[in-house]
Amino acid sequence: MHTLAFQWRTYSEGMADPQNSVDEILSTVRGGARRVTVAKRTVAEVLVEASGHLTVDEVTLAVQDRRPDVSPSTVYRILEEFEELKIVVHTHLGQSAAVYHLSGAVHGHLTCEVCNYTMQIPAAHFDVLGKDLQKTYGFLLDRHHVAISGTCAHCQSVRRHNT
């Protein structure tokens, strides 16, 4: 997998502001009759601060950076709980591990198959497709899980230069 120096900017114009604060997450946890723990608070902080998507491993490393005693299995369990509570969603982007992110802000993913970078885009892009699929097949598109593979502008131009 490539590491990417250049980063796409996240197109957030027109997106509702997520308002995903740590406190908000934790009160959702309380509302779900679960307990608020240090590990959960730390996972919440990591998710809020990393605006993008993270693999479980990345979440774990970031959490352990602050709380070295939190185990990977706990992170798995917390993310599973957060998903039940609709705090996060996860998607399988490339071939490998699942990526998680806060559900509030996210609409769709575009993943570049060359450099592996993923950008998030507003849901509006899927309106037409969603209506089309609904009408044609009765299929109700899940906006939280839309993940499109392809080639980003940068890698397309690199390919052109090398060919």
Which residues are at the interface with a second copy (CB under 8 A)? 8, 11, 92, 94-95, 98, 110, 112-113, 119, 121, 125-126, 128-129, 132-133, 136-142, 145-153, 156
CA dist., res. 118 & res. 31, Å (int):
32
Selection from DNA, a second copy, none that 86 binds (CB < 5 to 8 A by kind) is none
Asked if residue 70 binds DNA (CB under 7 A), the reply is yes
Among 21, 96, 134, 156, binds DNA (CB under 7 A): 96
Q: Compute how many residues bind DNA; rule: CB under 7 A.
A: 27
Order of strands, sheet of 99-102, starting from the edge strand that comes earlier in the sequence: 54-55, 99-102, 88-91
Regarding 94 and contact with DNA (CB under 7 A), the answer is no
Q: How far is the CB of 108 from a second copy (least distance, A)?
A: 9
Q: Which two tokens stand for residue 3?
A: 């590491």
The correct pick among 39, 105, 133, 147 for binding DNA (CB under 7 A) is 39
- Interaction of residue 84 with DNA, rule CB under 7 A: no
Find which of DNA, a second copy, none residue 30 binds, CB within 5 to 8 Å per kind. Answer: DNA
In 3D space, the residue among 73, 110, 78, 112 whose CA is nearest the CA of residue 91 turns out to be 110
Q: Which stretch of DSSP H or E encloses residue 56? A: helix 56-66
Cβ atoms within 10 A of the Cβ of 76, count?
Answer: 13
Judged by CB, which is closer to DNA: 37, or 116? 37
CB 118 within 8 A of CB 4: no
Q: Is there binding between residue 132 and DNA (CB under 7 A)?
A: no
**By the 8 A CB rule, do 91 and 99 touch?**
yes
